[in-house]
Structure 1
Amino acid sequence: MKSSSPIADARDMSRLFTAGNRLQGIVPPLITPLRARDELDQEGWERLIEHVIDGGVSGIFILGTTGEAPSLSYRLRRELITATTHLVAKRVPVLVGVTDTAFVESVSIAHHAADAGADAAVLTTPYYFPAGQTELTAYVQNIAPEIPLPLMLYNMPGLTKVWFEIETLKTLSEIQSIVGVKDSSGDLDYFRRLCDLRNEVREDWSILIGPEAMLPEAHQLGGDGGVAGGANVMTRCFVDCYEGLTANDSAKTEAAISKIRRFQDIYDVGKYASRHIKATKCAASLLGICSDLPADPFHRFFEPERERVAAILRDLDIL
């Protein structure tokens, strides 16, 4: 049953979403395994969920960039949300990307996520038509009360072409249902300012880094962990890196980050921007986790590219 006060409900649910009012650790942005166009690879999805939970993740993020959310039908997005919350069964928090070009579709997906038992919604800037900062501020101020879940903002200017500027976030910090920011800009000066803003106005905010190889730098700046696409594959390695950082265990950290840096080579396989998603799906399929079929308009890697990815995984001793 939906509450008449979504933000009040979001405050209550945020206590379930975080420990000590902050989500910390590794939260993989899961790939979406497909059996065919608009058909979920159900068995692969279950194996992927168990793989990352067994690896020690602090949460799961579905329908993000790595999950190809904009390329999936609304029907499939809802199916994925329902399947995920059922499989996870509250073992870790489930974060659901709700970004859409249409305001009402974002709200609709968020309500489905809440009804299915998800723990938080994740919202980036609307894409296609670039919004100015005044428009973006009003957009979030208008949509947040309509979303019956704690809300994480997602800074992804490389794809949306619009930043959540720091002053905009300072204004939006007044919205209590916003529980943090994921930053995938790759700009460490921006990330530092984001952590400073958290310390200044919202100490309960979780600040997570997107670019996975920057996890040590982000931790040093005050970050709470990472939303690491590579954790779809090398889950335990990313968790070890985070644990090494928080325990000030330099040997554990260095062993893990050296593997993470080598793993980055899979993203150089292929010649299109889609190679990041295709390489991650390819690696997961080589490990027998799930199908490597991407959503349209992308194509899966052919055998020469698959062999290059396999060689990297063998070098890392995970294949």
Structure 2
Amino acid sequence: MTLPSPLSGVVPPVCTPLTPDNEVDVASLVRLVDHLVAGGVDGLFVLGSSSEAAFLPDRHRAVVVDTVVRHVAGQLPVLAGAIDMATLRVLDHARAAAEAGADGIVVTAPFYTRTHPAEIARHYRLVAGRCGLPVFAYDLPVSVHSKLGADLVLGLAAEGTLAGLKDSSGDEGAFREVVLGARARGDISGFSVLTGAELTVDSALAMGADGVVPGLGNVDPAGYARLYAYCRGGDRERARVEQERLCALFGMVRVGDPARMGGSSSALGAFKAALFLRGVIDCPVTADPQIPLSAEEVGRVGKFLAAAGLL
């Protein structure tokens, strides 16, 4: 389908259901997509951080993109993460996404090697020039160790290299600088600014963001769709109440014992446990080498769901 310009609304980063032996659970993935569509989301982002893209081999990535694009069949735009260390590897993923029928790709700055802003800009220009799809920059400094500055992002947007930004930097001042810059500059049109911060969606939309990419949206897509509608409709009180309910629900990401697992294992494990408890996916396993939640921790996820009215 033709990608909206700008892309707006709720675009969750779709979790990747797995079997106990770490294969893609296609049937559960299809049910998850149906769950998100029924929840009223505006697009889907596969192979992002909440999709465990960093853990998936290329054959798994291909299955995910092909399955989701085929099942959605043009109902919603599908963005695919083309996330890898450097340009040539990213281009391989981008071409595969294009061949599968994705509507756009999401790309971080290069990582592992140390890069200069000029090299980051060159990276995005090369990918955009060779892949044939709209490119969304993914600002994720906690993982790639480079912050995408507002001047860099806005410059690439003005020249047509970038179609949008997915900001997971946690830097609200820098995020606002991009929003204001995109609004003020006369040489930028149709550029989409999306926040990846589940807990401050109301604030980001009030700043002028176009939409949200919430990992927690896998668990409660209808909640984020309501929040977006309240914010766009100017109903600040209902937006505040809905945002606060989602903030409480987000507490599930901390159920994992930090003495035996990392934050990724805890958060992604909680999202998948919640989807399992809601009957959306068959198995809550996360990709190796992440540590699985215990039965007691899964039970605590259930309490968060019950408190949010989701069980």
Tell me how far apart the structure 2 counterparts of residues 130 and 287 of structure 1 sit (CA, whole Å): 43
Tell me, yes or no, if the aligned pair for 1:38 and 1:73 is still in contact at 8 Å: no
Runs of 4+ in 1 over 6 A off after TM superposition: none
Shift of 1:277: 1.2
| Alignment correspondent of 1:225 | 211
- In the alignment, the residues of structure 2 paired with residue 246 and residue 178 of structure 1 have an alpha-carbon distance, to the nearest angstrom, of 25
With structure 2 as the length reference, what TM-score do the two structures score? 0.94
Equivalent of 1:104 in 83, 88, 92 = 88
| Counterpart position of 1:273 | 263
Mapping for residues 145-224 of structure 1, pairs under 5 Å: 145-199=129-183, 200=185, 201-224=187-210
Shift of 1:103: 2.2
Quote the Cα distance in structure 2 between the aligned partners of 1:33 and 1:194: 34
Correspondence 1:67-106 to 2 at 5 A: 67-106=51-90
Once residues 115 and 58 of structure 2 are traced to their aligned partners in structure 1, the CA distance between those partners, rounded to angstroms, is: 24
What are the Cα deviations for residues 192-218 of structure 1, in whole angstroms up to 9, with x where unaligned? Answer: 101012112423101000011110110
Counterpart of 1:211, as a letter, is A
- Kindly indicate whether residue 270 of structure 2 is the aligned counterpart of residue 286 of structure 1: no
Q: How does 1:233-244 map to 2 (within 5 A)?
A: 233-244=219-230
Measured against aligned partners, the alpha-carbon deviations of 1:116-140 in whole angstroms (never above 9, x if no partner) come to 1111000011222232212211221
State yes or no: 1:250 paired with 2:248.
no
SS at match of 2:49: coil
Counterpart CA distance in 1 for 2:29 and 2:114 is 34
Among 38, 62, 65, which residue is 2:49 paired with?
A: 65
User: Structure 2: how far apart are the matches of 1:139 and 1:260?
Assistant: 36
Aligned residue number for residue 313 of structure 1: 305
Aligned equivalent of 1:298, options 284, 290, 293: 290
- Unpaired runs of 5+ residues, structure 1, are 1-12
Q: Is the 8 A contact 1:38 1:72 kept in 2?
A: no
**Bigger shift: 100-109 or 255-264?**
100-109
Q: Say yes or no: does 1:262 pair with 2:252.
A: no
- The SS at the match of 2:16 is coil
Which residue does 1:3 correspond to in 2? none
Contact 1:282 1:300 in 2 (8 A): no
Q: Determine whether 1:50 maps to 2:42.
A: no
Identity %: 30
Secondary structure class of the residue paired with 2:272:
helix
CA contact (8 A) 2:108 2:137 kept: yes
Q: What secondary structure is seen at the aligned counterpart in 1 of 2:19? A: strand
**What SS does the aligned partner of 1:61 have?**
strand
AA at the equivalent of 1:41: D
* Conserved 8 A contact 2:254-2:263: no
Q: Give the alignment's Cα RMSD to 1 decimal.
A: 1.4
Corresponding residue to 2:110 among 104, 107, 126: 126
Aligned-partner Cα distance in 2 for 1:240–1:209: 16
For 1:27 and 1:293, the matched residues in 2 are separated by 23
CA displacement at 1:177 relative to structure 2:
4.5
Distance, in Å, in 1 between the alignment partners of 2:63 and 2:253 is: 29
Q: Deviations over 1:288-317 (max 9, x none)?
A: 111211111102211111111111111112
Q: Are the equivalent residues in 1 in contact too, given 2:124–2:161 (CA < 8 A)?
A: no
**1:170 Cα offset (Å):** 2.9
* Residue type of the alignment partner of 2:291: H
What one-letter code is carried by the residue in structure 2 that aligns with 1:79? V
- Give distance in 2, aligned partners of 1:173 and 1:250: 31
> How many residue pairs align between the two structures?
303
